[in-house]
Amino acid sequence: MLGNGVKPSISKFAELVKTESAAFGVLKVGDLVEGALLEKGARRLLVDLGRHGVGVVYRGELMGMRGAVKDLKPGDSLHAKVVAVDNDEGYVELSIAEAGRQKAWVAVTELKEKGEPIVVKVTSANKGGLVTELEGLSAFIPVSQLAPEHYPRLASDDKSGIESALQALAGTELSVKIIDANPRTGKLILSEREASEVSTRELAKNYSEGQTIEGIVSGIADFGVFVRFTDNPAVEGLIHVSELDHRMVENPKEVVKVDEAVKAKIVEIKDGRISLSLKALKEDPWANAADRYPVGTEVKGTVYSTNPFGALVNFDDLQGQIHVTEFGGVEEMKKHLGTGKSYSFVVQDVKPAERRVLLKLKK
């Protein structure tokens, strides 16, 4: 009875109990509870939940949790999750496995908030990345989140090679950081790259943009070349394929090979990542291209590649273009030009600002 003599409605009281269940001591589905083991049988466990009554864990749950319940004895404490508040037998139905998973997600969330590196062991791999475990939960490290020393440095179309390179990491311990933890979807994503960047950022402070470094080619991918610094092998930089030469390069292996000693210029340091350039240390052939190759000059060139728009031709230290319209179509062009073959060409136009030389086949 309220002070004014009016009874609260049942619906209002029920709503209050629902929102303030902790104060009323009312259990609800999904709650985590702790109790003492009363009875251990082959088909069920009975658990003393104090004022909440007696809980039960059925055989189906026990089948998958044999290791967790094997050494339990009456009086031992255990944690469980409420599945049903009042089942057909009058017990509070419990799940040990669900409680374990929920506790694991709480632990993982706390680790993510701390943002500190964690060591995990790789259990298996697929072409997308590495599989591991954290707090008993399955976790995944995508290829894109691997540190440079573990990144598969193969052509992007070599799927079997990438998977083999990742499989070789099974059993390896890696330092990682949690970048995504979603209990609802069960998604737990880790990053070795972010963990390694913590120390890499500190090492990168020893270098500056514009500096020339000496290094060893430690890996080659279709997008560029990895170079390990000679003065500190713990530091590695990347030469993007566009920074290998002043001409277009389709395959970095045309320019360098693994274990080759190189000199490169640091063009950018950002978030601990060091970007390098080989072409920055080479004389720019476009600076005096117009003077060296006036219109009408005959040059000897090798067809580098063909495409629907024409062909790229390497000559001397430049790369020229010949348009498909010179032949009337792609098929006709391929009859006259073969990739890797040399021909005589005539310079039609030189556009240094656009870094282009237009050619036509000498007849």
User: Is 90 exceeded by the pLDDT of residue 173?
Assistant: yes
Question: So what's the pLDDT on residue 226?
Answer: 92
Q: Which CATH class is domain 115-197?
A: mainly beta
Average pLDDT over residues 153-165: 66
Torsion of CA 103, 106, 110, 111, to 10 degrees: 60
Question: So what's the pLDDT on residue 56?
Answer: 92
Question: So what's the pLDDT on residue 127?
Answer: 84
3 state DSSP class of 278: coil
Distances 40 to 37, 43, 58, 68, 77 between C-alpha atoms, Å: 7, 8, 11, 13, 13
In angstroms, the CA 164 to CA 169 distance is 9
3 state DSSP class of 240: strand
Picking from 89, 40, 49, 95, the residue whose alpha carbon sits closest to that of residue 69 is: 40
- pLDDT band at residue 25 using 50, 70 and 90 as cut-offs: low
User: Is 90 exceeded by the pLDDT of residue 15?
Assistant: no
Question: So what's the pLDDT on residue 20?
Answer: 43
Residue 207: exposure state from Cβ atoms within 10 A (0-12, 13-18, ≥19) = middle
Is residue 213 within 8 A of residue 237, CB to CB? The reply is yes
In angstroms, the CA 211 to CA 201 distance is 17
Distances 274 to 202, 211, 225, 291, 292 between C-alpha atoms, Å: 12, 11, 12, 36, 36
Which tokens in the block code for residue 160? 């079997």
CATH 2.40.50.140 domain span(s) along the chain: 13-101, 115-197, 207-281, 289-361
Give the amino acid at 347. V
Which tokens in the block code for residue 138? 């399955």
User: Is 50 exceeded by the pLDDT of residue 6?
Assistant: no
Predicted TM-score of the model (pTM): 0.53
The CATH number, out of the four listed (3.60.21.10, 3.10.20.340, 2.40.50.140, 3.40.50.10090), of the domain defined by the range 289-361? 2.40.50.140
User: Is 70 exceeded by the pLDDT of residue 104?
Assistant: yes
- pLDDT band at residue 17 using 50, 70 and 90 as cut-offs: very low
Give the dihedral sign, CA 61/63/67/72.
positive
3 state DSSP class of 361: strand
Share of the chain above pLDDT 90, in %: 48
User: Is 80 exceeded by the pLDDT of residue 9?
Assistant: no
Summarize pLDDT for 232-248 with one digit per residue, the tens.
888 889 999 999 999 98
Is residue 258 within 8 A of residue 218, CB to CB? The reply is yes
Question: So what's the pLDDT on residue 266?
Answer: 97
- When mean pLDDT is compared over 94-98, 107-111, 210-214, the highest value belongs to 210-214
Distances 81 to 88, 117, 157, 211 between C-alpha atoms, Å: 18, 30, 47, 60
Average pLDDT over residues 210-239: 92
Question: So what's the pLDDT on residue 4?
Answer: 47
Superfamily of domain 207-281: Nucleic acid-binding proteins (2.40.50.140)
Fold of 13-101: OB fold (Dihydrolipoamide Acetyltransferase, E2P) (2.40.50)
Average pLDDT over residues 256-284: 93
3 state DSSP class of 242: helix
The torsion angles phi and psi of 181, rounded to 5 degrees, stand at: -135, 110
Strand segments (E) across the chain: 32-40, 44-48, 54-58, 77-84, 92-95, 118-126, 129-134, 137-142, 173-182, 187-191, 212-221, 224-229, 236-240, 261-270, 273-277, 298-307, 310-315, 318-323, 342-351, 356-361
Helices marked H in the chain: 10-19, 21-24, 59-63, 66-69, 96-114, 159-167, 192-204, 289-292, 330-336
- pLDDT band at residue 68 using 50, 70 and 90 as cut-offs: low
Place of tokens 């909440």: 52
User: Is 50 exceeded by the pLDDT of residue 14?
Assistant: no
- For the residues of 6-39, what is the DSSP string, one character each? PPPPHHHHHHHHHHTHHHHT---TT-EEEEEEEE
Both ends of the chain: CA-CA distance in Å? 109
Is residue 202 within 8 A of residue 235, CB to CB? The reply is no
Which tokens in the block code for residue 258? 């693994």
User: Is 70 exceeded by the pLDDT of residue 49?
Assistant: yes
User: Is 70 exceeded by the pLDDT of residue 280?
Assistant: yes
- pLDDT band at residue 153 using 50, 70 and 90 as cut-offs: low
User: Is 70 exceeded by the pLDDT of residue 7?
Assistant: no
Summarize pLDDT for 282-335 with one digit per residue, the tens.
999 999 999 999 999 999 999 999 999 999 999 999 999 999 999 988 999 999
Q: What are the residues facing 94 on neighbouring strands?
A: 82
In angstroms, the CA 95 to CA 103 distance is 12
